[in-house]
Structure 1
Amino acid sequence: MPPLRRSDSLIDIDFTLRRQFNKQSFRPGQREIILAALDGKDVFVQAATSFGKSLCFQLPAVVDRGITIVISPLLSLMMNQVSALRAASIDARTLNSNTPPPERSHIFADLATGHPHTRLLYVTPELCALESFRARLRLVHEQKELARVVVDEAHCISEWGHDFRRDFKRLAWFRQSFGSDVPLMALTATANAQVRGDVLRTLGMDTDGLKCFATTAHRPNLHLEVRFTSDEANDRFDDFVGWIKGVYERRAGPERLGEVEEAGERVDGVAGIIYTVSRDECEMLAAALRQEKIGARPFHAKLTKEAKEATLARWIKGEQGWDIIVATTAFGMGIDKENVRFVVHWRLPKSFEGYYQEAGRAGRDGKAGYCFLYYSREDRDRTCSLVTRDAARGRGTGGEEESERSVNGKARLESLQRLVAYCEDTGGCRHAAICRYFGEEAVPVCDSACDYCREPELLRQRMKSGLASEEWVSTQREEGRYDEYWSE
């Protein structure tokens, strides 16, 4: 018997939404995507971080017959989603390098039956490349119990994507092995036309029956701002502390804020994320903020699994002293916390897509969110050097792997150049610039929701006074480091 499709039975997805997911209504677009999935179509979804893409494959997995395989690039994303699904009494599991041996044995035994009880199994692309895992999936497919394959963060498939992973390209095996019997779903928040084409071609998605859904990149509830600075001045910290304490003061009143600080208590109450590029800076910045009675905690790969899980749980819960996560850039993908009020980029991200995806983690509840990026030309040149070095690693003997690295490096450099142009642009709406980058023809102009639309003259003054001095620029030019990749 093939997996259940909408055409075979009447399925009350609204009832399932309320009963299993404790949500009263679908967000615009979700219903159409879910119905296309239940009809057995290949589905491509490009939607902003706040859209709720995970529901588009989780709900069909609950009402469909068979198991849904979800391929994801990040362990933290898997753990968070599996935990939430199990709390909703849905049999979801994850198979990765951190899976305990008893749980691993249970999953393998479940797959070996050919009729698994597991509804959603989250795996890495690296696992999907192993013959031992593929053999188990072939058995499940023979029993008509493989409902669909979902590729989350699908931009990782493309060499032109900002988070390219080589094993993502090997996911073509699913269509080659199972044909159109097993529908595919690919989801991403960040894909231009070139990346979308790569994803569809690599996965072999059915172009005739394919259902594509794309939402606007415009997030009108987010205020976007670039804060110009110089590394020599090192004024990021004072600027941020002044800003966040101003937020606390407006929320609690200046008298109460003074009482709290005098008593030596922490100032809490606004959830946020600060992104930086190094683990050491995560630690130092979080510690410095706690010295200012601001509840901040580090989150990076060197922390133990237990420390990361505890930090994440307390931050999501909103415990006192755990308001702000200071993290490296991988943090946040798939994290289900809707009330993040601000996202700060302490350093320039390596790509336009990365910046947009990370900033989009603010205001997922539809309420106002504040996103600002500290930008210095010194920081820009350091980031350029890192990305250029990555691109250069692919220039060698011309092998397949080197070629992929070269293409991906060039894509990253081009994306970074576009992000630099965005930062240094003082002549237009930032929301419109983001939409143009992602290929939207109908470009919106925000209602004072960015630094340009709110105060264009002040923006130009801030850039002129905040960036590195002309003396520094002249020195860089003399040393041949300024004009090699960038132009004013």
Structure 2
Amino acid sequence: MPLARSDSLQDIDFTLRRQFNKTSFRPHQRDIILAALDGHDVFVQAATSFGKSLCFQLPAVIDRGITIVISPLLSLMMNQVEALRAANVEARTLNSNTPMPERDYIYRDLATGHPHTRLLYVTPELCSMDRFRDRLRLVHAQKELARVVVDEAHCISEWGHDFRRDFKRLTWFRESFPDVPIMCLTATANAQVRADILSTLGLDRTPARLRCFTMTAHRPNLHLEVRFTSDEANDRYDDFVGWLKGVYARRAADDRRPELEAAGERIQNVPGIIYTLSRDECESLAAALRCDDIGARPFHAKLPKEVKEETLARWINNEPGYDIIVATTAFGMGIDKDNVRFVVHWRLPKSFEGYYQEAGRAGRDGNASYCFLYYAREDRDRVCNMVMRDATATAAAKAKAKAGDDANLQARIRSLNRLVEYCESTDGCRHAFICRYFGEDEVPRCDFACDWHKDPQDLKRRMMRGLASEEWVSTQRMEGAYDDYYYSD
């Protein structure tokens, strides 16, 4: 049973300090946690810097019973379980990579009906398996199923950019356990995706029980800029290295340099992330940066586990030679590093939501950070062709396709369309563009934190100079099909 509010008010601050080593909540976290402890269904939409995981982890520590956390990302689950266990919280994960002895222990623990595990992270695919469902029925019968949490909840919706079919089957939880509270969290959902999430999880059937917390997508401490370039790798490389070495020079000339060095901070320690679309480019770009005496390391799925763990740990600890991670898109989810000073997109991402999530990994400490995206129409065409290939594959397999595939494809097209529009826009604030994309009516005030507000005329000149130098060969080759595909809703 959830705690009474008076008990909750007393316990959450103590638990925050003791278990999570934090002295205060971020805005709205306390209200979300209290709503969860009061037994409400909860929907949370907040930026990547918000600290959404604490909103279900802290109630799980306080509440009686087990909290089931459903996540689509194995790396995210493992990172969070490791951090919780370091904080002496009994957390485990059950997925395709879980060793057999650990898997057996978890199933035996669930079979008791009174599990010792407080948070169990699982994949949506596992939630469809009869063995797992049977164990949860035993736990529920003993009134020990405290809460079900759906992380990255936008994956539920076929109108979302990361639709996963097994997320649709999570309707089973509300149908089987109508008395168990459900919490869902996402950083990227427009009005249509939000409605789809609530409907699929059955949260709209009990509106009096539901509490929605929808925070602004605005990150005022991030400076947003699009840098127009050709498809030549050297153009981007020279521009980036010149920018970074300029940062080093300014830090070296800073009046506070002795103070910084006395505190153990290196002048060339500017933690950052560069996102690329391929593993080969991760490797080659990181190697090139190291040749220029810039501490960069690659991070992608094909690296050995030991290498990834060492790279991540040394980057988080700001060790020499590990200042910059050059990574593919999955990197950074759930990683608790708040001093990332820049995020660079080396290539155009595949979706607007992906761009927003990745850029949002900068400046989680609230201090000024820099986010820029290199944009060339060749990149645009390349990503468009990826989506077109997906469309062709979907059409070829139409007889086997299930409902939702076509809708998801259209959602991906629209998302990519808006990202191109964002890149080529020269008539408004980039922060305002992001907020409008996610359905916010009030446009935020930008304190010169984007390239348009900084110098709108220079932005127009840069775009015209950068894009005018490119050939529209691919557009002509497609005989206008590209424009119809891209700029129509």
Q: Does TM-score exceed 0.5, indicating one fold?
A: yes
Equivalent residue, structure 2, for 1:24: 23
Aligned residues: 474
Equivalent residue, structure 2, for 1:102: 101
- The one-letter code sitting in structure 1 at the alignment partner of 2:40 is K
Kept after mapping to 2: 8 A contact 1:353/1:415: yes
Instruction: State the alpha-carbon separation in 2 of the partners of residues 430 and 113 from structure 1.
Output: 53
Kept after mapping to 1: 8 A contact 2:11/2:62: no
Kept after mapping to 1: 8 A contact 2:64/2:144: yes
Kept after mapping to 1: 8 A contact 2:252/2:267: no
Equivalent residue, structure 2, for 1:182: 180
Equivalent residue, structure 1, for 2:172: 173
C-alpha displacement of 1:162: 1.1
Equivalent residue, structure 1, for 2:78: 79
C-alpha displacement of 1:188: 0.3
Would you identify which runs of 4 or more consecutive aligned residues in structure 1 move more than 6 Å? Answer: none
Instruction: State the alpha-carbon separation in 2 of the partners of residues 278 and 232 from structure 1.
Output: 16
Equivalent residue, structure 2, for 1:113: 112
Q: Does 1:198 align with 2:196?
A: yes
- The one-letter code sitting in structure 2 at the alignment partner of 1:363 is G
Instruction: State the alpha-carbon separation in 1 of the partners of residues 478 and 129 from structure 2.
Output: 49
Comparing 474-483 with 31-40, greater Cα deviation is found at: 474-483
SS in structure 1 opposite 2:269?
coil
- The one-letter code sitting in structure 1 at the alignment partner of 2:11 is D
Instruction: State the alpha-carbon separation in 1 of the partners of residues 298 and 216 from structure 2.
Output: 32
Deviations 1:250-298 (A, max 9, x none): 11249xx9xxxxxxxx984011111110111111111111111111111
Instruction: State the alpha-carbon separation in 1 of the partners of residues 230 and 80 from structure 2.
Output: 40
- The one-letter code sitting in structure 1 at the alignment partner of 2:175 is Q
Write out aligned runs for 1:7-406 (5 A): 7=5, 9-10=7-8, 11-179=10-178, 181-205=179-203, 206-232=206-232, 234-253=234-253, 268-395=268-395, 401-406=401-406
| Closer, same or farther: CA 329–233 of 1 in aligned 2, 3 Å | closer
- The one-letter code sitting in structure 2 at the alignment partner of 1:236 is R
C-alpha displacement of 1:106: 1.8
Instruction: State the alpha-carbon separation in 2 of the partners of residues 212 and 388 from structure 1.
Output: 36
| Closer, same or farther: CA 200–129 of 1 in aligned 2, 3 Å | same
C-alpha displacement of 1:394: 2.9
Instruction: State the alpha-carbon separation in 2 of the partners of residues 438 and 352 from structure 1.
Output: 10
Instruction: State the alpha-carbon separation in 2 of the partners of residues 478 and 14 from structure 1.
Output: 62
Kept after mapping to 2: 8 A contact 1:347/1:379: yes
Deviations 1:440-485 (A, max 9, x none): 0111130100000001111111111112526x12673255265343
Instruction: State the alpha-carbon separation in 2 of the partners of residues 388 and 6 from structure 1.
Output: 54
SS in structure 2 opposite 1:447?
coil
TM-score between both structures, scaled by the size of structure 2:
0.93
SS in structure 2 opposite 1:485?
helix
C-alpha displacement of 1:246: 1.0
Structure 2 spans left out of the alignment, 5+ residues: 258-265
Equivalent residue, structure 1, for 2:2: 4
Comparing 87-96 with 64-73, greater Cα deviation is found at: 87-96
Instruction: State the alpha-carbon separation in 2 of the partners of residues 245 and 449 from structure 1.
Output: 21
- The one-letter code sitting in structure 1 at the alignment partner of 2:453 is C
Comparing 120-129 with 233-242, greater Cα deviation is found at: 233-242
Deviations 1:113-147 (A, max 9, x none): 11011111111111111111111111111110000
Instruction: State the alpha-carbon separation in 1 of the partners of residues 334 and 163 from structure 2.
Output: 18
Instruction: State the alpha-carbon separation in 2 of the partners of residues 233 and 275 from structure 1.
Output: 14
C-alpha displacement of 1:98: 1.9
Kept after mapping to 1: 8 A contact 2:78/2:93: yes
Identity %: 73
Kept after mapping to 2: 8 A contact 1:72/1:153: yes
Instruction: State the alpha-carbon separation in 2 of the partners of residues 276 and 149 from structure 1.
Output: 34
TM-score between both structures, scaled by the size of structure 1:
0.93
| Closer, same or farther: CA 8–248 of 1 in aligned 2, 3 Å | closer
Equivalent residue, structure 1, for 2:260: none
Kept after mapping to 1: 8 A contact 2:413/2:486: no
Instruction: State the alpha-carbon separation in 2 of the partners of residues 53 and 291 from structure 1.
Output: 38
C-alpha displacement of 1:9: 4.3
Equivalent residue, structure 1, for 2:485: 485
| Closer, same or farther: CA 132–478 of 1 in aligned 2, 3 Å | closer
